[in-house]
Structure 1
């Protein structure tokens, strides 16, 4: 494949957790707007179908298997895009899980899974892409946190803690990288996605069922991400909170 020519209109955008929900919606919208999307997730069949859909609609996309809890896989994901296209313009650290439960349920395995995916996954994305962006003297991280980074609800203590960590890491990164690299934190309120399917605890599942009565479509979050990416290089949209008009979450 011929390397993409750098331009202000088309960017090479890497998206983790791209097989469904916010990641999928973001990939589709960015491709519609002329960007080349590099899709990563564990569910490769879904990734393949998404990439084919995007190309059939006239967009530009490729896909790679990716488990963000594996630092080497994330590095290989970024390196493959860089080797093929000569640059990495945007890294969207979107992959996340949300198995809600009260702390008294003592679901340690689920807590650790959230820490591994929601925090380590973002750190792995930063570790893989930051040296590339430093060397090319431009780039942007879009880290998907949550409204849970700003408010805590019952059953969501650990989830909110991981998303506050994403917010804190993003803010620290923004202050460290200076003028060459932009950092955006996107905090969705309750959004239509498959995250709720990971909730095995009945109390947590019922809590989310209540929240989801006013859920906004994943495409709304994709539009916020696209807005941040499409700003002029001298503009850094540091944080966007997107929540339903009808609810508090």
Structure 2
């Protein structure tokens, strides 16, 4: 689709939880395309479940992908953006980065971490003309629920979201496009976007 629209696309298969692979993906983009203007950190896992019955490997998986993967890719990208005189880092968080529920403690912890990292980064890199935006979607029609390992939580969550019309991925993409197409003087710090039906 990118090619059909007149652009150029490069594909790199990488596990962002592996720092070397996250760095390689960034380096490949710079090598192939000559520069890096926008980094969208969108990889994530939502392994909901109560703390009491938690499989703590779920926590590690979410921290590795949702938080450390985002940090690794950003760490690799910032020197390129600074060197070229600007850029934009977009970190996809969640409404769970603003609040928590009885089954989202682990997930929310990672998304609150994204918020804290993003704000500290924004203050650090603004003098280098690098902008930082956090996108916080509510329920989106994706495969996230497929990965929930706690079956009781999975069933309850699917039942709850089955009663609303979720956001489509294109809605979140439109929020990203809005943030990155503002005039250079504007840094959209946060966009919270929920389905109309979501309480």
For residues 7 and 126 of structure 2, the distance between their equivalents in structure 1, rounded to whole angstroms, comes to 32
Corresponding residue pairs, total:
196
Partner SS for 1:60: coil
On the 8 A contact 1:155/1:203 being kept in 2, the answer is no
Partner of 2:180: 229
CA separation of 1:175 and 1:65: change in aligned 2, threshold 3 A: same
2:171 to 209, 212, 220: 220
Post-superposition offset of 1:58: 4.4
**Is structure 2 residue 138 aligned with structure 1 residue 195?**
no
1:185-225 deviation line (CA, Å, top 9, x unaligned):
00000111001000121222123211353211111101000
RMSD between superposed Cα atoms in Å: 1.3
Map 1:99-114 → 2, pairs under 5 A: 99-114=47-62
Q: Which structure: greater strand fraction? A: 1
TM-score by length of 2: 0.94
Structure 1: 5+ residue stretches without partners? 1-52
Partner of 1:207: 156
For residues 229 and 135 of structure 1, the distance between their equivalents in structure 2, rounded to whole angstroms, comes to 19
CA separation of 1:232 and 1:151: change in aligned 2, threshold 3 A: same
On the 8 A contact 1:64/1:77 being kept in 2, the answer is yes
TM-score by length of 1: 0.76
